[in-house]
Amino acid sequence: MNQARFHRVIRAVSEKFGVAPEHILSKDRHHPIVFARFASMWLCRNLEVPAPSYPLIARCHGRTDHTQVMYACDWINRKMLNDPWYAHTMRALKDHLTKTLHIPDSYLLVAADELPQTFVFGEDAIEV
């Protein structure tokens, strides 16, 4: 994911949650801003395979420490497991960004049960 895509993710999150992009990139610790920042970091990490590095995501969010991104991703994952609203909101935003960023299907993260049973490499097909 290049830096332009990071900024498009930040803009999409700011529109969704009504938080200005400069607030997402700030050090403000008010809950709505922190949630938007965490959502942005999680989306940057989970939109593509291979996932961008934590340090790269941190730099694009104006942070110096990659562990902040690790914490944000863990926090969002826990919220998604325990609260259907978070799960629905994050999945909907991820689906929206996948379509608007024109990410090829081959770069998307998919659940194991969504993987195809046959993989085609050129003219060869491998059955799993």
pLDDT of 38 reads: 97
pLDDT digits (tens, 9 = 90+) for 75-109: 999 999 999 999 999 999 999 998 887 665 555 44
pLDDT digits (tens, 9 = 90+) for 14-60: 999 999 999 999 999 999 999 999 999 999 999 987 899 999 999 99
On the question of pLDDT at 66 being above 70, the answer is yes
For residue 122, give every residue at least 6 positions away whose Cβ sits within 8 Å of its Cβ, in sequence order, or none.
none
Spell out the domains of the chain, with CATH numbers in brackets: 3-127 (1.10.1750.10)
pLDDT of 25 reads: 96
